[in-house]
Structure 1
Amino acid sequence: MSSLQSLDIAKRSATTTPTPQVRTAVPEVAKLIDVSSCIGCKACQVACMQWNDLRPEVGHNVGVYDNPADLAPEAWTVMRFSEVEVEQGKLEWLIRKDGCMHCEDPGCLKACPAPGAIVKYANGIVDFISENCIGCGYCVKGCPFDVPRISTKDNKAYKCSLCSDRVGVGLEPACVKTCPTGAIRFGTKSDMLDFGATRVADLKERGYENAGVYNPEGVQGTHVMYVLQHADKPELYNDLPKDPAISPLVGLWKGIAKPLALAAMIGAAVTGFFHYVKVGPEEEPEDEADVPDPVRTADGRLVQILPAHESEKGES
């Protein structure tokens, strides 16, 4: 549970109700992952599971170092190992810590139809509020990084929260605290960008001409950033998208289709109301409504049993 308060919320999913006045002077935070300094020890994975009390199921050896093999409702961060030939005869291990990128313009929040199930805090962290989640999976479709996962146990969506509970009380995320090489850093976004620029300059001096900070503009930047040796080819890092963007279908649903569908529903309701007022409720003719079905006697004959008021008319 996050320690951040309602006053820290800048956006909520599926609601037009204005959020409380955001506190002033709330600095945006960010996590910077220096891929060039990562040794793939997976200490960050263990720290994430320990702090968030995650117990992923024991999987199977799939022939790669990635373990678990993929993100899961109980595995919010996974180390991705890629052996690539960056140039003729030169192989490199590219290791990337995979998890939620905490987009400035989060596609999961835009796609979510459940009020308050996804929130974005003023400091940039995007968080899932499980008790409001309806398990529809729209957040999965809306995420350009394919991060959220739906649990088969409670039908809720889960992902990295950037340790919003720790950040809310002034602590760093668990993965940052445990990293033995300092490859994961946390602070204000401006400070992380400055530090990233320093690391990029160092990498370029070491021969990585295309080094850079991964902070994609397609989602207006992210609050989890990477220092990449080959920033011109992010797809080398286990298919990290080069230019991630929110699917146009999300904008279509929220911007056009949803209002039109709502207008159609309102129009149908209004039409039905005026039809009821003008014509009145539909009623069956009394002679047809009161006549019961014929009954078959013991000798096979069909006998029509008349209602009591009809039999009285016949006797009179």
Structure 2
Amino acid sequence: MSQAILRVQKISGHAGSVPGEDTQREYTVCKLIDTTTCIGCKACEVACMEWNDLPFGETVFGNTYQTMPETRWNYWNLILFNEHEREDGSLMWLMRKNQCMHCAEPGCLAACPADGAIVQYTNGIVDFQQANCIGCGYCITGCPFDIPKMNPKTHRVFKCTLCTDRVSEGLEPACIKSCPTGCLHFGSKDDMLELAGNRSKQLREHSNFPNAGVYDPPGVGGTGVIYVLHDASNPEVYGGLPKNPRVPWSVKLWKGPLKWLGNVAMVGGLIGLFVHYLRYGPKEREEEDLVSGPGGGKT
């Protein structure tokens, strides 16, 4: 994906400011997924595969209707099927479309040490640049949603791009276009939050879902993909959706205090070497260490 098409807001492993960041103005885009109207048809899975020309991979069916247990490096969008028992003893299907959440404060970008391997555009989309990827896998560790996956052969990491190529041309993501029930919506973050709030209110007032609400976790600064959930107080039942996701403390530690201490130690070492040089000068070879040859005679 060419970075010239979308304006960049953040760059992984990049020292200094982003060129032209002060002049960049663009509204944040957002995908809304209404889990209450998803029927698990998997049309979005097919559309994602086709549009992104992802290589075919063998599917693994378990004791579920899911195509495979989790997303892969070549399968970015997966419908999760979860059979849930309600308080009255009745059973209901909870289907959730699982893909990159495009966090406002992305842990993957914070963890990545490679300059330009991960970028965040001013519209909020987080995109991977495989040409700059060094295959360290730190982005996988930094993601609280366990989304990025590495190609074991190329050691490059992949995930949903939110169809940056389509969005940059004013189009909606391919999965949105394919949904037959209208459970997927795309637009500005403000518009999607308003739509999600109205839908949640409707579920609370006119359906038997008193805890219906919007999933937009503040621990990662909010997300570019939000959900309407039947029970927003218990997101874990939707295939392990974390209740309060955050960037792992290990990432914050080594990219924060430890990085600062490392820089201080390096500067201190250089200053120490300089002071030693000024005080003692260059190290001179002792006369007795100089030998003339095999005989060991002194010069």
Q: What stretches of structure 1 of length at least 5 have no aligned partner?
A: 293-305
The 5-angstrom pairing of residues 1-316 of structure 1 reads: 1-2=1-2, 5=5, 8-22=7-21, 23-204=23-204, 205-275=206-276, 278-281=280-283, 283=285, 306=295
Measured after TM superposition, the shift of residue 65 of structure 1 is 1.8
Letter in 2 for 1:44: C
How far apart, in 2, do the equivalents of 1:149 and 1:284 lie? 59
Pick which of 12-21 and 95-104 moved more: 12-21
Letter in 2 for 1:126: V
How far apart, in 2, do the equivalents of 1:52 and 1:291 lie? 71
Maintained 8 Å contact 2:104/2:220: yes
Measured after TM superposition, the shift of residue 198 of structure 1 is 2.2
Maintained 8 Å contact 1:2/1:168: no
How far apart, in 2, do the equivalents of 1:39 and 1:60 lie? 21
RMSD: 2.3
Q: Secondary structure at the match of 2:80?
A: strand
TM-score, length basis structure 1: 0.86
Seen in structure 2, the aligned counterparts of structure 1 residues 117 and 94 have a Cα distance that, compared at 3 Å, is same
Aligned to 1:295: none
Maintained 8 Å contact 1:80/1:95: yes
Cα-to-partner distance string for 1:235-294 (whole Å, 9 max, x where unaligned): 0101101111112222221221012112222333443455456353475877676666xx
Share of identical aligned residues, percent?
48
How far apart, in 2, do the equivalents of 1:171 and 1:3 lie? 17
Letter in 2 for 1:214: Y
Seen in structure 2, the aligned counterparts of structure 1 residues 45 and 272 have a Cα distance that, compared at 3 Å, is same
Maintained 8 Å contact 1:78/1:99: yes
TM-score, length basis structure 2: 0.90
Q: Secondary structure at the match of 2:86?
A: strand
Maintained 8 Å contact 1:3/1:164: no
How far apart, in 1, do the equivalents of 2:276 and 2:260 lie? 24
Maintained 8 Å contact 1:218/1:244: yes
Seen in structure 2, the aligned counterparts of structure 1 residues 20 and 92 have a Cα distance that, compared at 3 Å, is same
Q: Secondary structure at the match of 2:36?
A: helix
Seen in structure 2, the aligned counterparts of structure 1 residues 242 and 283 have a Cα distance that, compared at 3 Å, is same
Measured after TM superposition, the shift of residue 81 of structure 1 is 0.6
Q: What stretches of structure 2 of length at least 5 have no aligned partner?
A: none
Maintained 8 Å contact 1:4/1:168: no
Aligned to 1:303: none
How far apart, in 1, do the equivalents of 2:150 and 2:268 lie? 35
Letter in 1 for 2:152: T
How far apart, in 1, do the equivalents of 2:291 and 2:47 lie? 72
Maintained 8 Å contact 2:25/2:122: no
Maintained 8 Å contact 2:24/2:122: no
How far apart, in 2, do the equivalents of 1:289 and 1:67 lie? 76
Seen in structure 2, the aligned counterparts of structure 1 residues 88 and 2 have a Cα distance that, compared at 3 Å, is farther
Letter in 2 for 1:11: K
Pick which of 258-267 and 223-232 moved more: 258-267
Q: Secondary structure at the match of 1:196?
A: helix
Aligned to 1:299: none
